[in-house]
A and B are shown apart, each in its own frame.
Chain A
Amino acid sequence: METNISYLELLERDLLQVAVLEKARAVARAPSRRRLRWRSWLGAAAAFLVVAFAIGALAQLGGGGTEASRTGSFSTVGSAVGGVPAGPAASPGTHNVAGGSGNQQRFANPGKQASTGTASDLSKIIRDGTIALSVPDGSFGTKLARVVAIAHTNGGFVLSSQTEGSTTGTLTIRVPAARFDATIGQVGGLGDVESSSVTGKDVTNQFIDYRAHLQDLVGRRTVLRTLLARTTTIGESLTVENELEDVQLAIDQIQGQLRYLGNQVAESTLTVDLHEQSAPVGENRTNDGIRNPSLARAFDRAIQGFFGILATIIVGLGYLLPLAVLAGLVVGVITLVRRRGRAPS
């Protein structure tokens, strides 16, 4: 630079030094070719997974209706609940209906849910549900009485009830499993369904195990009784009697378990959360009407969500992978043909 001002010359020298240093730092920071290639592969894999997720989500949205029509035997809930069929991401054994309009449903393990009380005796499902209702102002007492009446009409009873003031309350009713869906429908008709959920626990395996064990024990009891009749000494008699008592005790315990399970399966529990429209939202109920939100429940939902996304990606990969392989083959063939065309004869 042509100037007689020393400061500018010094500044030029300083700037040049800064520029050189920055260039050196940039070179040192520049990713190597190998790192760049690795990043490219990582980016491509991420893009592939995103596309797989999108395809999986679309596929499951499109395929849900078919699955529901094949397996769905759940009745709709309340007047505000539509008969929208299965969704993909539900956890096993659960059925949720949520939202102000109550028209979103999630089902899983549907084949077994259908059997409760109505299908084969081989399937044993314990079903419980929760429903949150908003009723017109001034009608809380009437609606509460209607819920009790519905429970009685369907052959059930009120297990417990809790009210807060004269506008909010929770009622827990037990009804025969065969009348569970009908009961939910009737209760849902009493007001606006804010949220609803039904959970199903499959205890068929437990039933089968208990029965098999019971048969075995009954057989052993018969043998022991025969042996007892044939004993000749007091010592033998005491030994066989002791054994017989143990077997009888085990039989009684298993029969008790079977009775308990039978009762659980035979009757379902429905928790009805009622509140008037202008009633303040209580501490035990969130704005969306879900009762007792807890960390454990949130954790469960997070895990379910994670596996839901994973499942969606896997479904998408099922669609995408064959196409990717096909595209790879086509590209490979084209590349090969071009190389041969370019090669000197």
Chain B
Amino acid sequence: MDQRSDAALLLASRDDPAAFVELYRRHAEDLLRYFARRTLDPEAAAELTAETFAEAFASRARYSYVTGVNGVAWLYGIARQQLGRFFRSGRIDAAARQQIGLPLRELPPEDYERIEDLVDFAPLRAALAEALETLADDQREALKLRVIDGLPYPDVAARLQCAETAARQRVSRGLRRLALVLQERGLMLTTEVE
């Protein structure tokens, strides 16, 4: 286990890029949870996590501990910028990943539920019910079954009479749309520590 601080890892990664990977190991899951709670979309959360680490890697030479910003705060500063861009444009940049040569990967099917497990949806249920009315019918139905009724994806797919993959996509897109609506109406819960 590397005992160096986040700031020390970031500074060391200028000459030894592998040190950055240790920083990633420490904060990747927390950052994924951070994005998942705000976007309510596992796909978007995963991509935002990748893009944030890619941008941090690309710009690590600009990090300076002299400014008084510790390593994790600097990382979440980049994350906030990514999230802001996502909510403004509705899409996720891939510029940093392309810049450093990080491949663009799709989220494996088994990760959808695991990422949802990272997010505690209970406090969001009431707000979600209100915002659900703004969605398209198929997305709203998929979300109701998955998020409000808490059904697993095979059951959601059976109720909607569609393939499980299609059910996942409807839920994912519905969640993304829902997150944008909640963000616009100021209903987004921000209970987690940044």
Spell out A's residues near B (CB within 8 Å). 1, 3-8, 10-12, 14-16, 18-23, 26
Spell out B's residues near A (CB within 8 Å). 13, 15-18, 20-21, 24-25, 28-29, 32, 46, 49-50, 53, 57, 100-103, 105, 107-108, 110-111, 114-115
Contact A7 B17 (CB under 8 A): no
Contact A15 B102 (CB under 8 A): yes
**Distance between A40 CB and nearest chain B CB, rounded to angstroms:** 21
Contact B17 A18 (CB under 8 A): yes
Contact B18 A6 (CB under 8 A): no
A5 and B57 in contact, given A12-B24, A12-B28, A23-B17 (Cβ under 8 angstroms):
no
Contact A1 B25 (CB under 8 A): yes
Q: Which residues of B contact A11 (CB under 8 A)?
A: 24, 28, 49-50, 53, 102, 105
Q: Which residues of A contact B103 (CB under 8 A)?
A: 14
Tell me the complex Cα distance, A16–B22, Å.
9
Q: Which residues of B contact A14 (CB under 8 A)?
A: 102-103, 105
List 5 interface pairs A-B (beta carbons < 8 Å), by A numbering: A11-B24, A11-B102, A15-B102, A19-B21, A20-B18
A18 and B102 in contact, given A5-B32, A11-B28 (Cβ under 8 angstroms):
yes
Contact A12 B20 (CB under 8 A): no
Q: Which residues of A contact B15 (CB under 8 A)?
A: 26
Q: Which residues of A contact B57 (CB under 8 A)?
A: 15, 18-19
Q: Which residues of B contact A10 (CB under 8 A)?
A: 105
Contact A18 B105 (CB under 8 A): no
Interface centre among A3, A12, A15, A23 (most CB of B within 10 A): A15
Tell me the complex Cα distance, A19–B18, Å.
5
Q: Which residues of B contact A5 (CB under 8 A)?
A: 29, 32, 111, 114-115
**Distance between B70 CB and nearest chain A CB, rounded to angstroms:** 21
Contact B101 A21 (CB under 8 A): yes
A18-B100, A19-B20 given; name 5 further pairs at CB < 8 Å.
Answer: A5-B114, A11-B50, A15-B24, A18-B102, A26-B17
Say whether chain A's binding surface is mostly helix, strand, loop, or mixed: helix
Tell me the complex Cα distance, A3–B33, Å.
12
Which single residue of chain B is at the shortest CB-CB distance from A11? B50
Contact A18 B49 (CB under 8 A): no
Contact A12 B114 (CB under 8 A): no
Partner of B114, one of A4, A15, A21, A26: A4
Tell me the complex Cα distance, A233–B108, Å.
125
Q: Which residues of A contact B13 (CB under 8 A)?
A: 19
Contact B28 A8 (CB under 8 A): yes
Q: Which residues of A contact B16 (CB under 8 A)?
A: 23
**Distance between B170 CB and nearest chain A CB, rounded to angstroms:** 20
Q: Which residues of B contact A1 (CB under 8 A)?
A: 24-25, 28-29
Tell me the complex Cα distance, A3–B16, Å.
25
Contact B108 A12 (CB under 8 A): no
Tell me the complex Cα distance, A226–B53, Å.
108
**Distance between B16 CB and nearest chain A CB, rounded to angstroms:** 7
Which single residue of chain B is at the shortest CB-CB distance from A13? B21
Contact B49 A8 (CB under 8 A): yes
Contact A22 B107 (CB under 8 A): no
**Distance between B172 CB and nearest chain A CB, rounded to angstroms:** 14
**Distance between A193 CB and nearest chain B CB, rounded to angstroms:** 55
Which single residue of chain B is at the shortest CB-CB distance from A20? B18
Contact A23 B101 (CB under 8 A): no
Q: Which residues of A contact B32 (CB under 8 A)?
A: 5, 8
Interface centre among B16, B28, B29 (most CB of A within 10 A): B28
Q: Which residues of A contact B25 (CB under 8 A)?
A: 1, 12
Partner of B111, one of A7, A12, A26: A7
**Distance between A296 CB and nearest chain B CB, rounded to angstroms:** 49
Contact A16 B29 (CB under 8 A): no
**Distance between B112 CB and nearest chain A CB, rounded to angstroms:** 10
**Distance between A313 CB and nearest chain B CB, rounded to angstroms:** 37
Contact A20 B17 (CB under 8 A): yes
Which single residue of chain A is at the shortest CB-CB distance from B115? A5
Tell me the complex Cα distance, A21–B20, Å.
13
**Distance between B19 CB and nearest chain A CB, rounded to angstroms:** 8
Tell me the complex Cα distance, A232–B25, Å.
122
**Distance between A24 CB and nearest chain B CB, rounded to angstroms:** 10
**Distance between B1 CB and nearest chain A CB, rounded to angstroms:** 12
Tell me the complex Cα distance, A66–B173, Å.
86
**Distance between A21 CB and nearest chain B CB, rounded to angstroms:** 7
Tell me the complex Cα distance, A7–B29, Å.
10
Contact A7 B105 (CB under 8 A): yes
